[in-house]
Structure 1
Amino acid sequence: MKRASPENSTSKPESNGSPTITDIALAAGVNVATVSRALRGVPGKVSARRREEIERIAREMGYRPNALAASLRTRQSNLAAIIVPDLGNPVFGPMVQGIERSLRARGHLSLIVQTPSDPKERESLIVALASRQVSGLMILAAENHDPLLHAARRSNLPTVLVNRGSGDRQFAAVVNDDRESVRQVLEHLTGLGHRHIAHVAGPGTSSTGSARRVAFEQMARELNLTTSTVVESLAFTREAGRAATEQLMADGAPFTAIFAANDLLALGALDVLRARKLAVPAQVSLVGHNDMPLVDLINPPLTTVRIALEEMSEQAAALFIERIDSPDATPITRMLLPTLVVRESTAPPAA
């Protein structure tokens, strides 16, 4: 019997099933291992000319790789788990979009999940993701001593922290330079003449909350501010910002400006100031952090610190792939510079 040549054997198999690498091997006149190496892009095993021929035949036959079968063989998928603390927080939408887009360009799809509030559920979440053979974890928020991080460490999955640091450098991370954020805010406010500045801090359990608070307290001393009151919020939410600002007002310490650790806290502070008939910025200046969507549309448009979201997303995706390719490499932290965006919620203090 005459053997079929590659030119006349690229039609789909007669069976009702999808073409397999065995079908492609028969059509190309090579063995199955060669087809597998060619389609997986294994370097140095298949000549460029042969690889192109096999890829052409695969396309013509309508071959689609079986991702599930591949994950069962390698015990790893091309599915990255992105863990988000609050899907309702507007700052995380653009961040997740950027990471998902960057990962997809690198051949990885994304599974997006929200961080459970129960610490035990956080550990179970990591176990569940590992059992589904995700290729790694992208954690967009983690508390200090978070069970989520302990479980991630035990899972041995490649892990990257985004806009959050663990403090112990056990994980790769891409973070904002929070000290630089605070420096820019205080430089702006003191430049306007403010000497009584309050800080509505984020939760002390959060790495960003504690980092911004520590930086504020240190720089307030260095600047010899007349008053530098700090109140801690229980969460990074508008409601928590309202509660913290009410506490600030009850404490009675004078202030002419408020720096909130994120924009949602700033919105909560604005709610309280409006309720008390304190005009922003005529009587109290207000600064947020993150430059989340739409804060330029509130009244007054919010002065805030813009984190480098696009660069953070791209760097996080690149670092994630590096961790997969070199899991034993020493974890590194990449720190990105923020930018103060001055709008209409800050002004010189009233005489």
Structure 2
Amino acid sequence: MPDIVFKSVPFSKEDVTLALESGVDGIITDAAHVDGVRTLALCDVWAEADMPSVALGSKAEEESIAARIASGERLVLAQGWEIIPVENLLAQPAVAGKLAVEAASLTEARLAAGILECGVPTIVVLPEALSSLKSIVAELKLSQGALSLGKATVTEVRTVGLGHRVCVDTLTLMERGQGMLIGNSSAFTFLVHAETEHNEYVAARPFRINAGGVHAYAVMPGDKTCYVGELRSGDEVLIVNADGRTSLATVGRIKTEVRPMLMISAEMETPDGVRSGAVFLQNAETIRLVRSDGTPVSVVALRPGDEIVCRADVAGRHFGMRVQENIREI
């Protein structure tokens, strides 16, 4: 995930304000305005002279830029850079983590973020891309790509008594079809829907996912998992759409309370055969999974044979990191 920096040269207070509201990580501006910009928000602010733009049009310039960055200078590749020279710079360990390039459009920002798969670590958005800045930030900083989801068939729904369940309240207002992947095993998770739906008894809380038992795994950004009971305010969680698209949300609050619980089991066909898993969720009408058509379904309405959205993966996690081990979770 690259840092997004907005370049306001010549300085424009309106442009800088919009950039900060869009969620950029930093601002480059005229030296005379650096202190003023620092009063607007808590972020990095540089004078243009401290992060100058340099042209990259020849092998000699590439070598010079590499040497200067390796020696500690902060340089920005000026608009007009080409992919191969940037790949050459990213391939050098002393340069790779410090490289920055200019982008004048969403297309150029996307291109920079995908070079050598790892992408350029800092993208400097020029004023001509101001109208696309919110899209650039949303796509490059919030989007986490797509996950492969599938149809699973519910095999059992039964009450299991009381248990500690966790509500994950985020700073994001989610929409129908969005939720978190939760399950007893990292190898089989269920798309637990956000509380976006109204009913006559309880108002919608679209910022909330009632994520189930404290012991459960949540699929997290960066191909990691976390126990739901270990989530804390300020953590970033992975929000997943019914079609597999993903984004980030920040946890604002965690609510852990004792509630009556259901155990929901399901199975799905995969290229490796039938896989099965289970999840423990609160026994209440407002807690929902997602049907195969993308619509939410209350857990109290689920019956064996119903189709829901799940994700099959490979078991094996150590402190949330994927490991190659012979692990069985039941």
Q: TM-score range by the shorter chain?
A: under 0.3
Which protein is richer in strand relative to its size?
A: 2
